[in-house]
Amino acid sequence: MLLYLHGFRSVGLCYKGKQIITFAPDALTPNLSYVPTLAIALAESLIAEYSKAHKICLIGSSLGGYYATFLAQKYHLKAVLVNPVIDAYKTLLPAIGRVNVPYQKTSFFWSLNLVESLKQYFVDSITPELYCVLLQKGDQVLDYRIAAHKFKDSKLIIQEGGSHHFDNFMSQKDTILKWAEEN
């Protein structure tokens, strides 16, 4: 069972969420709240509900990768991270203010309190064997080298070019499914 955690300013059935559904129709692609504590609470409730009958593998993109790192460590779950944010409480500090969500044509107010709340989900020391990390050097939002360093002992796939969006995401379908199946 794949549980997709989308990034900041996104929704569950965004570009990657829709593609995940094409190769894993039973995948969970929830719309996470912009409030970090609510986003984590929803993900934890889904893990609790579905882990009784299924082996869960997280897929986290950008901010969702930050959340997936926290949840993978807490619940000892496998995770695929796609251009993940490593230090969200620093990375998202400049975003304070009104934030547009293009997928829903809505917006929300991103406050200093919300940024500060991200600190509680920071994972300093990881269990490398839990993670498969997909990075593209052309990511214009995040420096891929920061994630490459943090996850240096994990399975790392680093591609030339690309973008934060992760170009040619479908080319990673087999990697994702294989990672989810491995113990």
**In whole angstroms, what is the distance from residue 98 CA to residue 109 CA?**
5
Give the other-Cβ count within 10 Å of 165's Cβ: 20
Handedness of CA 78, 83, 89, 90 (dihedral sign): positive
User: What would the pLDDT profile of 66-112 be if each residue is shown by its tens digit?
Assistant: 999 999 999 999 999 999 999 999 999 999 999 998 877 889 999 99
Mean pLDDT of the chain: 95
Percent of the chain at pLDDT exceeding 70 = 99
User: What would the pLDDT profile of 125-145 be if each residue is shown by its tens digit?
Assistant: 999 999 999 999 999 999 999
pTM of the model: 0.96
In this structure, of 60-64, 97-101, 174-178, the range with the lowest mean pLDDT score is 97-101
SS3 114: helix
At residue 59, the pLDDT reads 98
Residue written as tokens 């993900």?
43
Tell me what the mean pLDDT of segment 53-77 comes to.
Answer: 97
> Above 70 in pLDDT, residue 183?
no
**In whole angstroms, what is the distance from residue 36 CA to residue 51 CA?**
22
